[in-house]
Amino acid sequence: MKFQVIFSFDTEYDGYIAEVPRLPGCVSQGKTMDEAIVNIKDAIQGYSYVQQKHLNIEGFRLFFLTG
């Protein structure tokens, strides 16, 4: 499955921040763009594991109920 990743440069951190809009809270960083890419891939895998194993949700579908 492919995900859009948004990269931004953080001058305070002096590195790149990566976030996945479809996966709330899935954020990582790296001092270089290459490091940020490796780290966000790892974060996506971790997010997937938690969703599938601990929340019993198939795939990456998230459901929000409002009342």
pLDDT digits (tens, 9 = 90+) for 7-64: 999 999 999 999 999 999 999 999 999 999 999 999 999 998 888 777 665 555 555 5
Is residue 21 a part of any domain in this protein? yes
- Looking at the structure of the chain, the number of domains it has is 1
Is residue 36 a part of any domain in this protein? yes
Domain coverage including residue 32: 6-53
At residue 63, the pLDDT reads: 52
Does residue 40 sit in helix, strand or coil?
helix
Is residue 64 a part of any domain in this protein? no
Long-range contact list for 37-40, CB < 8 A, 24+ apart? Answer: 37/5, 40/5
Is residue 58 a part of any domain in this protein? no
At residue 67, the pLDDT reads: 47
Is residue 67 a part of any domain in this protein? no
